[in-house]
Every structure is written in structure tokens, then in C-alpha cells.
Amino acid sequence: MSTEKSTEHAPAVTRRAIAEGIEPLLYETLPVLDHGFVRVIDYMGNDAAITQAARVSYGSGTKQVQQDRGLIRYLMRHWHTTPFEMCEIKLHVKLPIFVARQWIRHRTANVNEYSARYSIMDKEFYLPSPEHCAPQSQNNKQGRQPEPLSPQRTAEVLEILKQDATRCYDDYIALMNTDESGHVLNEGTEGLARELARMNLTLNYYTQWYWKIDLHNLFHFLYLRADRHAQYEIRAYADVIYDIVKQWVPVAAEAFEEYRLHGAHLSKTMVAMVQKLWRGEAVDQATSGLSPREWEDFMRVVADPQNIS
């Protein structure tokens, strides 16, 4: 699973539109977690491609940069999404299997994953850093508390995770009767097929894939996975990818941050509450028509804007 650059990626003259900011990132390995990474393999389009699609024009366009910026912000603000689909990006991602199973829920991308039926998995597994070893959240069934476990318990947990992952990999190799290079270990001993032996590996082992997605659906991915409520491990990847996007399409990224990532969507009832507040009327959860959870979300928006996203 090499990540080295090949000679076929040598610089070449092109007539296609390029994005100057992302060019230096092509094929560069951007580390994530302990053994993971993100690499930009290819991309199509730039900020100008979005405005050209919106105007159904060709070539470099005739509008000023400021006009293009205004149009992109208008498109984002009014949810005109198809022009953003004119841009695509292809990433090479190395990530823990449990993160991949969460990630694959975004069914709007093209994915080709490393095959453990064809190849032998590397002996690389994810161990969380101590500050991310936390107990189950008391009010969120799919999250963890912000405070970590005690140092003693954290050390115990990490040792268990390490021992389990190591033992399972050793058994994985023993089941196949081959080493990591595929050479037979014990002549005369039958080996189990790779497609079956792989089921013995723990979910913190690393896999890799190529992931290609258009900008509109990538923004949706980032809206969910770069959010502060997202699981830390997938959020770490989203943060790196968002840094890439800001270099690739800076004007579109600015609009996304303004209207989506750090914006807020209010329900009909919430809008009515804002109107009451504007008129100087008192509002409370009991008479608002909002559930306690909805009221908490509403107050986080109107009373503490820094908590948005």
C-alpha cells in the first residue's frame, strides 16, 4: 500500500482550468490520526467553474472576481446546488475500518477500497490518544463525554486495545499460514482463504480507498463531519479535507462557511420566537412549543453564536 509518487505524475502542460492553491497539494501525504492520511490525487474545476456553470458560459468568463464572489454567495445562500456539482475531487484516504464504516454512509461518492480478499492487510491499527479516551455520554447515545477517563483507566484501556489488535493480527497471519508478504510459514499446513481470515481483524485496523466526490456533496459531508458534534476520529479527517477545499475553491469555501458551516437553520416555530424577541416579548421553553432539546438548540443560536458548529 505504497504512497510514493510515480513518474507518471510528472508535471505536464495542460489546457484545462486549474486551481493554483491546490496544485502544491497534489500527491502530498497529509497525516491524520496516528497512521492515517489524506492525499489529493486529482481534481476538476475551480471557483470559476461554478460561476460558469451558473451562467452557462464558456472559457475564462467575462465577469469580475468580485461579481463571481457575489454570485457564488448567492448560489450558496439560496441553495442553488447544481453549479457546485461541476467541481470534483479525488482523494486517497487511509483510515481505520470503523471510521470507514461511518464514512461510507455518505452514498454520494465513488469509492474503491483496498481489497483484503486480494491482498494481506498491513499490521497497522489505530489507538486513540489518552485525551480522546472518554466514557459514554450521559445525554447522547452515540457520543462520548468531553472529559477523558482517569489516567489509570486510560492506560488499562489502551493496553487492552493494543493487545487485542496485536493478538488478532497474529491469529490472522496464522489462519492464512502466510507472512505479511504472502510467503508460506509452515509447509504442509493448510491456510485459510484471505477473504475469511480477514474477519478476525479488529475494527481499528487501517484500510485505504480512493474517494471521488463533487463539491456540492463534499460540502454536505463537511457540514456533518466537521461539526463539533461529530465523532472526533472522522472529524479529524473532515478538518484536513476542509483545509484542502479552502485551497482549492476559496470563494466557495468562504460562502459555505458563512451560510452553512457556521450558519443556523431555524424552524418555523423558532422564527416566531425570534420575532417575539425582536418585539421585546419574553419567551421561554414552556410556552414556545419547542421540545427541551429544540429549545436548547435554539438558545445556543440566539444566545451564544460562538457555539454554532
Q: Is residue 309 within 8 Å of residue 265, measured between CB atoms?
A: no
User: How many Cβ atoms from other residues are within 10 Å of residue 15's Cβ?
Assistant: 5
Three-state DSSP class for residue 75: helix
* Residue whose C-alpha is closest to residue 111's, from 230, 245, 207: 207
Q: Which residues are the active-site residues? A: 225
Q: Which set of grid coordinates corresponds to residue 236?
A: 479529524
Q: Is residue 61 within 8 Å of residue 93, measured between CB atoms?
A: no
DSSP per-residue string spanning 145-194: -SSPPPHHHHHHHHHHHHHHHHHHHHHHHHHHTB-TTS-BSSTT-----H
φ, ψ (nearest 5 deg) of residue 223:
-60, -40
* Residue whose C-alpha is closest to residue 50's, from 14, 16, 22, 76: 76
